[in-house]
Amino acid sequence: MDAWTALGEGKYLLVTTFKRDGTPVATPVWVAVDGTDLVFWTVRDSGKVKRLRRDPRVEVGPCDLRGNPLGESTAARARLLDDPTSDHVRRLIQRKYGILGRLTIGGSRLRRGAKGTIGVAISQDSPPA
């Protein structure tokens, strides 16, 4: 298994987004693998979604539940997903995290509605030419 896939197979992923002034903001998230992408879901009006709408650059790395880094981070690109693909991400998270994933996503759907969260896909940055 390569390092990228290992990030998706881990329990938590530390996703760092960047404010307008360049300040990094790191957040631990549940992660799943979807093809060559790492995917996670989050609240649609969260700070990280607002930052990603402005700047798709992210850094990703392994972490624990509290967001303490467990290894090196790597540069990547994130993109916000449409509703059907976000549903697919939620199913991947539910499958990977079992009953806890189903309860968490179900609770979120009750609180926020079906469109209250959004899927995010993270792709490896291409190496410089």
Could you give the domains of the chain?
3-124 (2.30.110.10)
Please tell me the predicted confidence (pLDDT) of residue 29.
Answer: 96
Q: Residues 3-15: what's their mean pLDDT?
A: 94
Contact 3/72 with Cβ under 8 angstroms?
no
Residue type present at position 14: L
120 φ/ψ angles, rounded to the nearest 5 degrees: -130, 130
31 φ/ψ angles, rounded to the nearest 5 degrees: -140, 150
DSSP string, 74-114: EEEEEEEPPHHHHHHHHHHHHHHHHHHHHHHHHHHHHHH-T
CB count within 10 Å of CB 109 equals 14
Q: Residues 109-121: what's their mean pLDDT?
A: 83
Rounded Cα distance, 72 and 39, in Å: 19
What pLDDT, in 10s, does the model give residues 70-107? 999 999 999 999 999 999 999 999 999 999 888 888 78
